[in-house]
Chain A
Amino acid sequence: MLASRSSAARSASRIVRNFATVVDTAGVKVAAVDNGEPTSAVTFLVKAGSRFESKPGVAHALKGFAFKSTEKRSFLGTIREAELYGGVLSTSLTREHLALSAEFLRGDEPFFVDVISSFIKSAKYTRHELDEYVVPVCEAESTTAFSDPALRALDLAHLIAFRTGLGASPFTSPGTHVSVEDVKAYAQTVFTPGNLAVLGTGIDAATLQKLVEQSLGSLSSASAPVTSPSSYFGGETRIEAHGAPETIFIGLGTTGAPSAELAVLSAHLDPTPSVKWSKGTSPLAASIPEGISVKTVLLPYSDAALYGILIQGESTEGVKAAGKAAVAALKASGDLKGDDLKKAVAKAKFAAASALDGRDNVVFALGAQAFGSPAALDSTISNLDSVNASAFSKATTSFLKAKPTYVAIGDIKRLPYADELGL
């Protein structure tokens, strides 16, 4: 059974190798894969996430300006024409990347590539669009995001863990003012050929390259925003909140490219059961009180990673008990060996391979490859295979030595402090 599983992983990695030829077209990296899907999707991935922003909230505002009026067509024209073609335009913003995507029927690629590239090349960034459309949407998105205690905890954890750079939130915090000039200046620095990757699925690579060359050929190559490498700090914070589940986040961070050992640690502690209506076999699963949700969170970035355990529940006592169990399990995970280690490695391998399911995930894997990150699936799998007990114990021990990041959101008079959990 193990043999068949590893062969499946190997064939999955073969698919990746097939499509992952990144070609430089007019200075822009272009990669495409055609697996015969009935629709095509093109994503322009820009290194314009919140870690690069010159002023808080600029990256979020730039995302809001996507598909607004350009020299070529108006805001309304873009939407109506996309509707006539039957396509879907979308944007997403992470701490590192801004993704501008279009999904459409095969054959409509000239129009949709033109829509996105005309935004990159000739967006107007008008003041009235900022006031009438962009700012209200940004505010609504931020309000929604920050009303979720889990998202708020992760956001604060990033701030405490990395302070600047990755600490910057992809959501505008209330009260920040961003002007059109700020957005325009930011757009000019990030929309440069070296900062841009065009990724297609369900589209012929040569076609995409030709379209990109036509539309982005004359893109000016100014200097990209410089960012200092991330460093990890750690710390503790407590935020009062009501009407939402009591939330704590126990996190640890590292710098440098995300390691295979961290993925194995995450798989080992993840209490999600593999079979419905059962308890998982993770060391954590047995000691979680009823009604408390425990999730492991592994957030790898290009030069750092944040790993943590997010605990949510209605009662502060339950959250405290689960927190104590989580810290104990985290501390004991250093001496993982034998079958337990094999199990964790297998789980991590499955997670890495199944992360390539679905169009969005393929696009992000392609994007990581285009920007030169060593995140190709085959190397990830082989790295996971080479994790052994001594290397794991060494990596985990040094990882656990870092100062923890601890966030508590909810009834702060009753929620535990970091030292009460044994951190």
Chain B
Amino acid sequence: MVLSGPLGSSLAPAILKSRGIYRWFKPLADWYVDLQGYRKVGYKYDDLILEERDDVQRALARLTPREAYDRQYRLKRASQCSVLHDVLPKDQWTKPQEDVRYLTPHVEDVEKEALERSAWDNMVVSRK
């Protein structure tokens, strides 16, 4: 169970339901995302997912070769930024429209499969 980060519990679905609240929250969310600074080193939000977990490893194996390559590139580029104690030139920052959740759906699928498996493993059969 992850408490924070991209896989943690989120209020976003509840906020997205109401247009009014969404409109109120959107500038605040944009400001906060910008403040986090991951886009300035070329990351996408899903690159921040902790990958030392079995379910995430399984999800990573489901990326297309292109997605996996791009992810490795971003990780290396950000590591280099960390070494240099600097951010990327502004034209290389991740644009908001590029910041898509490319990994979370796969992690959710893997989690759903694990839940289903445990449900089947622990079910009690009763005669109708």
Interface residues of A (CB under 8 A from B): 74, 76-77, 80, 84, 127-128, 131-132
Contact = CB atoms under 8 A, between A and B. Distances in A.
B62 A76 contact: no
Contacts of B120: 76-77, 80
Please give me the 8 A-B residue pairs with the lowest Cβ-Cβ distance, nearest first: A128-B62, A80-B120, A76-B117, A76-B116, A74-B116, A76-B120, A84-B125, A77-B116
Nearest to A73: B116
Contacts of B117: 76
Nearest to A128: B62
Interface in B54-90: 61-62, 64
Contacts of B62: 127-128, 131
Identify whether the interface residues of B are mostly helix, strand, loop, or mixed. Answer: helix
Nearest to B120: A80
A202 B62 CA distance: 42
A131 B60 CA distance: 13
Nearest to A74: B116
Contact of A74 (B64, B113, B125): B113
Given A76-B120, A80-B120, A131 B61 contact: yes
B63 to A, nearest CB: 10
Contacts of A80: 120
Given A76-B116, A80-B120, A128-B61, 12 more contacts: A74-B116, A76-B113, A76-B117, A76-B120, A77-B120, A84-B125, A127-B62, A127-B64, A128-B62, A128-B106, A128-B109, A131-B62
What interface size band does chain B fall in? 10 to 19
19 contacts: A74-B113, A74-B116, A76-B113, A76-B116, A76-B117, A76-B120, A77-B116, A77-B120, A80-B120, A84-B125, A127-B62, A127-B64, A128-B61, A128-B62, A128-B106, A128-B109, A131-B61, A131-B62, A132-B61
Interface in B77-116: 106, 109, 113, 116
B118 to A, nearest CB: 11
Contacts of B64: 127
Interface in B18-63: 61-62
Nearest to A84: B125
Contacts of A77: 116, 120
A130 to B, nearest CB: 11
A129 B120 CA distance: 20
Contacts of B113: 74, 76
Contacts of A84: 125
A128 B113 CA distance: 13
Contacts of A132: 61
A80 B61 CA distance: 25
A213 to B, nearest CB: 25
B123 to A, nearest CB: 8
A144 to B, nearest CB: 25
A84 B127 CA distance: 11
Contacts of A76: 113, 116-117, 120
Nearest to B110: A128
Contacts of B125: 84
A76 B109 CA distance: 13
B61 to A, nearest CB: 7
B105 to A, nearest CB: 11
Nearest to B64: A127
A105 to B, nearest CB: 14
Interface-central residue, A77, A80, A84, A128, by most chain B CB under 10 Å: A128
A127 to B, nearest CB: 7
A77 B61 CA distance: 22
A74 B116 CA distance: 9
B73 to A, nearest CB: 21
A74 to B, nearest CB: 6
A128 B110 CA distance: 11
Contacts of B61: 128, 131-132
